[in-house]
Amino acid sequence: MKTIERVHCVSCGSNLTTLKSIERFPIYMGVTDQPIQKDIFTDLTFAKCSRCNCIQLKKLIPLEVLYKEGHTNSVGKTWLLHHKSFANFINKHAHGDVIEVGGAHLHLAKNLEKNDNIKSITVYDSNLSCYGNKESEKIKLREEFFNRKNVSKKPDAVIHSHVIEHLYDPFKELKDMSDLLDDGSFMFISSPVIDAMMKDGFTNAMNFEHSYGVTKNLLYKMLSHCNLRIVEQIDFNKYCVFIRAVKDSNNTEKDYDPFESESYYHEFIRYYDIELKRIKDSLKKEEKAFVFGAHIFTQFLLKYGLDENKFICVLDNDERKIGKRLYGTNLKVCSPKVLKNYESPIVLLKAAQYTNEIKRDIINNINPGTRFIL
């Protein structure tokens, strides 16, 4: 597989300086049935812009390869609350025909479907069939990457939730979405705040799917570049922001303060240098342990230096993953219910903003004697 080399900054077009490479990182952050010999690896290379300090990856994976197996997207209580909250944010102002870019699981679309002011919701996503979705009277499905040329009718609104961080050329692709809108129409955006995630050591902050550090300043810059003016903004939590922006052809691109992503990146690397030693010391005291999360959380820790032979299996709540293998490893995926078979099992749990939710579920519903390495 040939990677795509990012030569210039995704934000300002300046030159990039390499910061660190994690060699032979698995390109897909999910599970698979195929033999490990077919897994694809390449270097996860972090770089910074010499001008604006935006952190980004230098090596990109062709989209048709990266999303061949779909986009791994677990939907727990945190995500369900997000979709409901974002739908409530949208429903106050949306009407007519709307387009959603991404959203293959349809959780957001089904929340919006209940709004009598919305006539139709057309969802563009290349992996719709992975979820066995079907159209309804209001919801129309287009199984493809969004392409402005394939949209025959101007929408009254464009919606995307946790999509912007997946775009390789976000200024161009966001402009394509904006150009569909008439002045006065809205774009509704839910975006992660990557620098806040990195600051708190979340391994899902940057990876082959999230190839650059989305900060609020970068969001503001991109929106103004696309003639979109922010009229409402709320924080869902410290790691996610909801934005309603109106199309305004007179709104031109504005400069914003330099990004602080580089300092957060260095905090992130220092944190994991220390964390890895702590986790290794904790695991030395135990014969075997479990690790939670058939996802980037576990892949990152293993590629950063943990020995996968220390683990019995990977635990995950997603039934579609059970019995399969975590891509890039030899670890089988099991249901957390296997913990019932152990008197006092050890679970390594580093699942970012979902950690507390998962821990409570295991203690309250599976095995209260479970011990955690957090």
Residue by residue, DSSP assigns 198-250 as HHTT-TTSSSSSS-B---HHHHHHHHHHTTEEEEEEEEEETTEEEEEEEE-TT
Comparing CA positions, the residue from 183, 165, 296, 161 lying closest to residue 222 is 165
Q: What is the pLDDT of residue 351?
A: 87
Q: What is the pLDDT of residue 75?
A: 60
Comparing CA positions, the residue from 119, 118, 245, 101 lying closest to residue 184 is 245
Window from 90-99, 120-129, 228-237 with minimum mean pLDDT: 120-129
149 versus 88: the higher-pLDDT residue is 88
Label residue 74 by pLDDT band (50, 70, 90): low
Window from 99-103, 136-140, 255-259 with minimum mean pLDDT: 255-259
The pLDDT of 342-363, averaged and rounded, is 93
Classify 227 in phi/psi space as left (phi over 0), alpha (psi -120 to 50) or beta.
left
Label residue 123 by pLDDT band (50, 70, 90): very high
Q: What is the pLDDT of residue 253?
A: 75
Q: What is the pLDDT of residue 257?
A: 65
Taking 90 as the threshold, does the pLDDT of residue 62 lie above it?
Answer: yes
What does the block give as tokens for 98? 């709307």
Label residue 302 by pLDDT band (50, 70, 90): very high
Label residue 1 by pLDDT band (50, 70, 90): confident
Residue 173 to residue 230: CA distance in whole angstroms: 18
**How large a percentage of the chain has pLDDT more than 70?**
96
pLDDT digits (tens, 9 = 90+) for 11-36: 999 999 999 999 999 999 999 999 99
Please identify which residue in the block is written with the tokens 């007519």: 96
Q: What is the pLDDT of residue 73?
A: 55
Q: What is the pLDDT of residue 79?
A: 86
Taking 70 as the threshold, does the pLDDT of residue 322 lie above it?
Answer: yes
What does the block give as tokens for 372? 């955690």
Task: For the chain, give the mean pLDDT.
Answer: 92
Taking 70 as the threshold, does the pLDDT of residue 163 lie above it?
Answer: yes
CB < 8 Å & 24+ apart, contacts of 76-82: 76/317, 76/354, 76/357, 76/358, 77/357, 78/353, 78/354, 78/357, 79/107, 80/107, 82/161, 82/190, 82/236, 82/240
DSSP conformation class of 341: G
Taking 90 as the threshold, does the pLDDT of residue 130 lie above it?
Answer: no
Q: What is the pLDDT of residue 258?
A: 60
Delineate the domains of the chain, giving CATH numbers in brackets: 4-59 (no CATH), 77-261 (3.40.50.150), 287-373 (3.40.50.720)
The pLDDT of 268-277, averaged and rounded, is 88
Taking 90 as the threshold, does the pLDDT of residue 185 lie above it?
Answer: yes
